[in-house]
Amino acid sequence: MITRIVAVDPAQPDPAVIEQAAQALRAGCLVAFPTETVYGLGANALDGEAVARIFEAKGRPATDPLIVHLAHIGQLSICASHVPPAARKLGLAFWAGPLTIILPKKPQIPDSVTAGLPSVALRVPSHRVARALLEMAGVPVAAPSANRFSRPSPTTAAHVLADLDSRIDLVLDGGPTDIGLESTIVDFTVDPPVMRRPGGLTLAQIQSVVPAVVAIAARGHADVAQLSPGQLTRHYAPRAELTLYDGMAEKVIQRVAADTRTLAATGARVGILAPEDDLVALAPELAALASHGRVEVQPYGSRRDPVRAARELFAALRALDATGVSYILATSIGPEGLGLAVRDRLARAAEGRIRRV
Residues engaged in binding Mg ion (CB under 5 A): 145
Nearest to ligand TXA of 114, 302 (CB atom): 114
Considering only residues 218 to 257 of the shown chain, the ones binding ligand TXA according to CB under 6 A are 228-231
Residue 40 sits in the site that holds ligand TXA (CB under 6 A): yes
Evaluate whether 151 touches 40 at the Cβ level (below 8 Å).
Answer: no
Q: How far is CA 65 from CA 2, 40, 145, in A?
A: 27, 14, 12
Alpha helices in 192-302 (DSSP H): 203-209, 223-226, 249-265, 276-291
350, exposed or middle or buried, with CB in 10 Å at 0-12, 13-18, 19+? Answer: buried
Residue 154: is the preceding peptide bond cis (ω within 30°)? no
Least CB distance to Mg ion at residue 153 (A): 5
- Could you tell which of ligand TXA, Mg ion, none binds residue 65, using a CB distance below 5 to 8 A set by kind? ligand TXA
Least CB distance to ligand TXA at residue 251 (A): 33
Least CB distance to ligand TXA at residue 36 (A): 8
Tell me the number of residues near ligand TXA by CB under 6 A.
28
- Could you tell which of Mg ion, ligand TXA, none binds residue 289, using a CB distance below 5 to 8 A set by kind? none
Measured from each CB, the residue nearest to Mg ion is 145
The amino acid that residue 120 corresponds to is V
DSSP track, 59-126: T--TTSPPEEE-SSGGGHHHHBS---HHHHHHHHHH-SSSEEEEEEBPTTS-HHHHTT-SEEEEE---
Question: Residue 274: enclosing H or E segment and its boundaries?
Answer: strand 270-274
Evaluate whether 275 touches 303 at the Cβ level (below 8 Å).
Answer: yes
Evaluate whether 207 touches 319 at the Cβ level (below 8 Å).
Answer: no
Q: How far is CA 215 from CA 85, 131, 185, 272, 344, in A?
A: 20, 29, 10, 30, 13
Sequence-distant (6+) residues with CB within 8 A of 287 are none
Question: Binding residue for ligand TXA (CB under 6 A) from 73, 117, 319, 354?
Answer: 117
Window 74-103: contact mask with ligand TXA (x via CB under 6 A):
--------------------------x-x-
Least CB distance to Mg ion at residue 196 (A): 13
Question: Binding residue for ligand TXA (CB under 6 A) from 65, 198, 238, 299?
Answer: 65
- Could you tell which of ligand TXA, Mg ion, none binds residue 13, using a CB distance below 5 to 8 A set by kind? none
Nearest to ligand TXA of 125, 337 (CB atom): 125
Question: Binding residue for ligand TXA (CB under 6 A) from 87, 129, 143, 320?
Answer: 143
Nearest to ligand TXA of 133, 210 (CB atom): 133
Rounded CA-CA distance 32/157 in Å is 8
Evaluate whether 95 touches 205 at the Cβ level (below 8 Å).
Answer: no
Evaluate whether 297 touches 284 at the Cβ level (below 8 Å).
Answer: no
Question: Binding residue for ligand TXA (CB under 6 A) from 18, 21, 38, 79?
Answer: 38
Least CB distance to ligand TXA at residue 114 (A): 5
Contact window for ligand TXA (CB under 6 A) among 137-145, 254-262, 268-276, 285-293: 137-145
List residues near ligand TXA by CB under 6 A: 35, 37-38, 40, 64-67, 100, 102, 114, 117, 119-121, 123, 125, 143-145, 182-183, 185, 196, 228-231
